[in-house]
Amino acid sequence: MKDFFDDTGELQVHTKKPLLKAIREKCLDCCAQQHSEVRLCHISGCPLWPYRMGKNPFHGRRMTDEQKQAATQQIKKAKKESYSVDSEKV
């Protein structure tokens, strides 16, 4: 666990930080500051486990209608290109 006191012996004051960063720090604390151990953590019953990598797995991507249309067009274009490449191989 990180020291709560600085070099002068004064108690460190908590600073404002994003919640996911705080969760990640707690997971590192639990795993003795070993990043690889956080990834390999098997304690899936821990309430912080889904957030241990510093990301919210339940947060969906929000796209505008224009972004959705552009993504759909890109997928269609990629499919068309892959079909034409496959047909050339035959």
Buried b (16+ CB within 10 A) or exposed e, 3-40: eeeeeeeeeeeeeeeeeeeebbebbbebbeeeeeebee
Structure confidence by residue, pLDDT tens digits, 29-72: 999 999 999 999 999 999 999 999 988 888 877 889 999 999 99
As separate numbers, helices (DSSP H) first and strands (DSSP E) second, the chain gives: 3, 0
- Map out the domains of the chain as residue ranges: 1-59, 60-90
Q: Taking phi first (over 0 means left), then psi (-120 to 50 degrees means alpha), and beta for anything else, what does residue 3 get? A: beta
Spatial separation of the C-alpha atoms in residues 78 and 81, rounded to whole Å: 5
% of the chain surpassing 70 pLDDT: 78
| Predicted structure pTM score | 0.53
Beta bridge partners of residue 11, listed in sequence order: 5
